[in-house]
Copies of this chain bind each other. A is one copy, B any other.
Amino acid sequence: MIAKKMEGLVKGSSVIRAMFEEGKKMAKKYGAENVYDFSLGNPSVAPPEDVKRAFVEEVENEDPTFLHGYMSNTGYEDVRAAIAEHINELHGTKFDGGNIIMTVGAAGGLNVVLRSLVDPDDEVMVIAPYFGEYDNYVANANGKVVVVAPNPPSFQPNLDEFEDKITARTKVVIINTPNNPTGVVYSEDTLKKMGEILEAKGKEFGTDIYLLSDEPYRELVYDGVEVPYVTKYYANTIVGYSYSKSLSLPGERIGYLVIPSEVADFESVYAACGVATRILGFVNAPSLQQRVIMKSLKSSVDVSIYEKNRNLLLDHLKKLGFEVATPSGAFYLFVKCLEEDDKAFANKAKEENILVVPGSTFGCKGYVRIAYCVDYKMIERALPAFERLAAKYK
């Protein structure tokens, strides 16, 4: 017998597995080139060449006992210092290695923060649409999720509702910008106002509310859009970062947390996150990956490939009359369905061999997410299928 709280999750995961199996069946039936799978957020652009060189150089030249050995649970000191300096150069901040904790991807980092801060029944606020895994991460820490409803068509957070839903038990607010699933980047104005609201509410309740900014898509932005660095707008901000997308290393599980010295109870929070890294079983971020990152700080995948994908699909969908949030970042389009029921719409899409994820998975009914981190040619081949899908509703 598995744990009761796992039963629902296992059922949910078999639904996803069933969808995946069906996709494979469709590929067999219609030919792989005639199935248009936009369901997965798996980077399609290759990692930069200098990341490859860094891997080889580290393994060939570094003392292996050092390279593959334990270090402090928070990560190698020189790696943390180099990352802090790199962030300072980009964003004019003043971090040092003592503000950084290396993590097993952003997912690992988020769990570390939640375990460190959340007591049973503390509230963790999320803003829909949001990455569904947050529900599980909060449950791991025995917290309660509070959802701020989606705010279409801009998908900037509804700040009135945000303010109303903050209570004396609100411990953490998670934001994700550029956003999965909308691709929307929160504006500087949004972040300023969120900061002011959090500041005022913290004073009102006499509590410390931490803003946790989940930023795996920070570097994937288009049209020259800037992603404001969130620590500038609210002192109690912790940043979770991952190299999954910026260097296309999702399988390697490497990221970091930034815990600014300004956050409330900084020393306890930093120490707790170090302890949580250990006791949650991560122990430390993979050591080789840490050292490779230090050598690859200025590298990036070729973002123009994603931009080209986005432009092709976005133009086509707009021409067909679809309503789409302006996706300035990440590699997703969040498209309004042509009927109310997003699952029914996703099924209609499947009839045209288009695989997309219903918005209800992200706490936002009536939309579907289209992940365009795929081959450009697949998008070209899919365009007539989207046309047929639109035609069904005419």
* A378 nearest CB across to chain B (Å): 15
* A150 nearest CB across to chain B (Å): 23
A6–B269 CA distance with the chains assembled, in angstroms: 10
* A259 nearest CB across to chain B (Å): 11
A133 at the interface (CB under 8 A from B): yes
Contact A288 B65 (CB under 8 A): no
- Interface 1/0 per residue, A136-156 and B, CB below 8 Å: 110111100000000000000
In this complex, the interface size class of chain A, counting residues with CB under 8 Å from chain B, is 35 or more
Chain B residues near A71: list those with CB within 8 A.
251
Contact B142 A279 (CB under 8 A): no
Contact B68 A251 (CB under 8 A): yes
A59-B56, A248-B68, A282-B282 known; A3+B46 contact, CB < 8 A: no
* A279 nearest CB across to chain B (Å): 4
A200 at the interface (CB under 8 A from B): no
A119 at the interface (CB under 8 A from B): yes
Q: Is the interface of A mostly helix, strand, loop or mixed?
A: helix
A13–B59 CA distance with the chains assembled, in angstroms: 32
Residue from B47, B136, B282 in contact with A108 in the complex, judged by beta carbons closer than 8 Å: B282
Chain B residues near A235: list those with CB within 8 A.
none
Q: How many copies of the shown chain assemble into the complex?
A: 2
A250 at the interface (CB under 8 A from B): yes
Chain B residues near A280: list those with CB within 8 A.
111, 140, 280-281
Which residue of B has the minimal Cβ distance to A286?
Answer: B286
A59-B56, A289-B286 known; A6+B275 contact, CB < 8 A: yes
A13-B271, A47-B68, A248-B68 known; A137+B286 contact, CB < 8 A: no
Contact B42 A3 (CB under 8 A): no
Chain B residues near A107: list those with CB within 8 A.
281-283
Contact A253 B286 (CB under 8 A): yes
A3–B128 CA distance with the chains assembled, in angstroms: 26
Contact A42 B60 (CB under 8 A): no
A105 at the interface (CB under 8 A from B): yes
Residue from B1, B4, B13, B109 in contact with A275 in the complex, judged by beta carbons closer than 8 Å: B13
Q: List 25 A-B contacts (CB under 8 A).
A: A2-B269, A3-B116, A3-B141, A3-B272, A7-B268, A9-B275, A10-B268, A10-B272, A42-B69, A46-B64, A46-B65, A47-B64, A52-B60, A52-B64, A69-B248, A104-B104, A108-B282, A133-B279, A140-B279, A251-B284, A251-B288, A252-B286, A252-B288, A253-B282, A253-B287
A382–B13 CA distance with the chains assembled, in angstroms: 55
A285–B251 CA distance with the chains assembled, in angstroms: 8
* A1 nearest CB across to chain B (Å): 6
5 further contact pairs, Cβ within 8 A, besides A6-B275, A42-B69: A2-B265, A2-B269, A3-B119, A6-B116, A115-B140
Chain B residues near A65: list those with CB within 8 A.
43-44, 46-47, 248
A62–B161 CA distance with the chains assembled, in angstroms: 49
Chain B residues near A279: list those with CB within 8 A.
9, 133, 136-137, 139-140
Chain B residues near A268: list those with CB within 8 A.
1-2, 7, 10
Residue from B2, B109, B116, B275 in contact with A117 in the complex, judged by beta carbons closer than 8 Å: B2
